[in-house]
Structure 1
Amino acid sequence: MADTQLAIERKGEILYGTFTQEKGVHSFSLGLLDQLDGFLARIEDEPAVRAAIITARGRIFSLGTDMTQIETGLGDFRQFRHYLDRFNAVMDRLERAPVPTIAAVNGLTRAGGIEVVLACDVAVIVRGARIGDIHTAQFAIPAGGSTQRLPRRIGVPRAKDLIWSGRFLAADQAVDWGLCHALAEDDALIETAEALAATYIDKPRQCLFECKTLINRSVTMSPADGIELEKQQFLHYVQNYPYVRDAFGAFRDAKRAPVVAS
């Protein structure tokens, strides 16, 4: 059986990564992680890309690590450590991507699948989808970031409940809890994700990246330290990106739109 592949396509200012599988279900192998890493490298290397959408074909987003990989890892812990290091390195790179990243959740999502969603900045989900961590239902614990990113997304008590219970959330509850940002009709998932992206990509890429970096760091800093960092980054940003002056002038004059720079 062929492994899950990542189909990569760019349309205008958005780069799309789509999990595909000829037969079976979408799951993670080392090969798929390499492809996702290549997808992230394109985001970093192509300044014209202003947003990225990760989705999947069919009715499954991702069911996590490939079963063959798990069976091999349980027999060789050094190999399992290598896989987990690789998975987490790619998730960290996804979390730090220099553009807004949107998970477009098209169906059933669990384990490594929810960890991809958590590494993305925001997520939209179709009404018929279900999403959960489910590791404890298999008497296991997460190893791809759920215990760290899920509390920051939905709060500590809800994260404990979802991980301890091993249950799935329906799409509307995932939105209500803040795990996903928006609910989409089954035939309008990508359009909903693109509409969300459109509200971001009319700003300079660096502007969004600076904000993202500060927000991501806020969870590990005191408010006072975070505000000091914010002031420092603001002064550096204004000094080094001249289009900020133009934007202030356009806002003051109210006669023209500011120039959007890369």
Structure 2
Amino acid sequence: MTDLVRFEVEDGIGTIRLDRPPMNALNSEIAHGVIEACDEASTRSDVGAVVLYGGEKVFAAGADIKEMAALSYADVAPHTVLLQDFARAIARVPKPTVAAITGYALGGGCEIALACDFRVAAKRARLGQPEILLGVIPGAGGTQRLARLIGPARAKDLIFSGRFVSADEALAIGLVDEVVDSEEPDAVYAAAKARVAAYATGPRLALAAAKEAVDKGIEVDLQSGLELERALFWSLFATRDKEIGMTSFIENGPGKAVFEGS
């Protein structure tokens, strides 16, 4: 794994840490590093949830424009594939994921935050898709994930204008799920970990199935989504966690089960 991306595990939560000071500009090396970290997070049995974190001062202020500006029309095709693979790798982690946004999350930075299940932001954070100001559009899923998250009209406002939104506005329009009003340097990271801590010890196969049902279901018609849900529901009756969960509920009531992840 590259020095620009670190993967650490503590208490069942894996942290993918971007480390390219000062602004975590996203380049090909970071993209490959995050893809590798997502693969590791997906397969490690000691990881039940994942935090994507850029550090105490910034999340990711966008793509490395110097790298991108050097690309020709012919060069940009594989680069665009890499950008989308980068965000897709985050979205496809079969475990709950949360972005801990401390400062700027712009362009590609906003897009990789969108690929997470949840977003927790510092009060001072700023988010946006300013690609239009460079004469291009979001290329790592921003036009698609943003519209699905906050609706087409609001997504068009942000994408057409390229404007930044405050954490409070982001919360109001559904772009983030929580705003942390604290000056403590690790407050946002702590809040992000707290948001997914319960999932880290939850029924992992059921959580993965729930995530798949929601994420794939919104991409198809209702009937196809219901068929997917039915198949995933059935599949969980072959798991040990289903036996543990239902037996525990009958004997002890809700919330007492200790799942095995099998």
Deviations 1:42-98 (A, max 9, x none): 11220220011111124221122112211211xx22322221111111211211111
Partner of 1:47: 45
Partner of 2:221: 222
Q: Could you tell me which amino acid in structure 1 is paired with residue 248 of structure 2? A: A
What value does the CA root-mean-square deviation take over the aligned residues?
A: 1.7
Aligned residue among 68, 72, 75 for 2:70: 72
Partner of 1:198: 197
Shift of the 160–87 alpha-carbon distance from structure 1 to 2, 3 Å rule, reads same
Q: Could you tell me which amino acid in structure 1 is paired with residue 37 of structure 2? A: F
How many Å separate the matches in 2 of 1:201 and 1:10? 11
Post-superposition offset of 1:137: 2.2
- Tell me the secondary structure at the aligned position of residue 47 of structure 2: coil
Shift of the 251–190 alpha-carbon distance from structure 1 to 2, 3 Å rule, reads same
Report the TM-score, using the length of structure 1 for normalisation: 0.92
How many Å separate the matches in 1 of 2:202 and 2:102? 28
- Tell me the secondary structure at the aligned position of residue 7 of structure 1: strand
Partner of 1:243: 241
Contact preservation (8 Å) 2:49, 2:96: yes
Q: Could you tell me which amino acid in structure 2 is paired with residue 234 of structure 1? A: F
Q: Could you tell me which amino acid in structure 1 is paired with residue 98 of structure 2? A: I
Partner of 2:177: 181
Post-superposition offset of 1:133: 0.4
Give 5+ residue unaligned stretches, structure 1. Answer: none
Q: Does 1:126 align with 2:125?
A: no
Partner of 1:145: 141
How many Å separate the matches in 1 of 2:20 and 2:253? 51
Contact preservation (8 Å) 2:19, 2:54: yes
Give 5+ residue unaligned stretches, structure 2. Answer: none
Q: Could you tell me which amino acid in structure 1 is paired with residue 143 of structure 2? A: T
Q: Could you tell me which amino acid in structure 2 is paired with residue 113 of structure 1? A: G
Contact preservation (8 Å) 1:103, 1:124: yes
How many Å separate the matches in 1 of 2:126 and 2:143? 19
Shift of the 68–255 alpha-carbon distance from structure 1 to 2, 3 Å rule, reads closer
Contact preservation (8 Å) 2:218, 2:225: no
Percent sequence identity is: 26
Contact preservation (8 Å) 1:128, 1:186: no
How many Å separate the matches in 1 of 2:155 and 2:253? 48
Partner of 2:154: 158
Report the TM-score, using the length of structure 2 for normalisation: 0.92
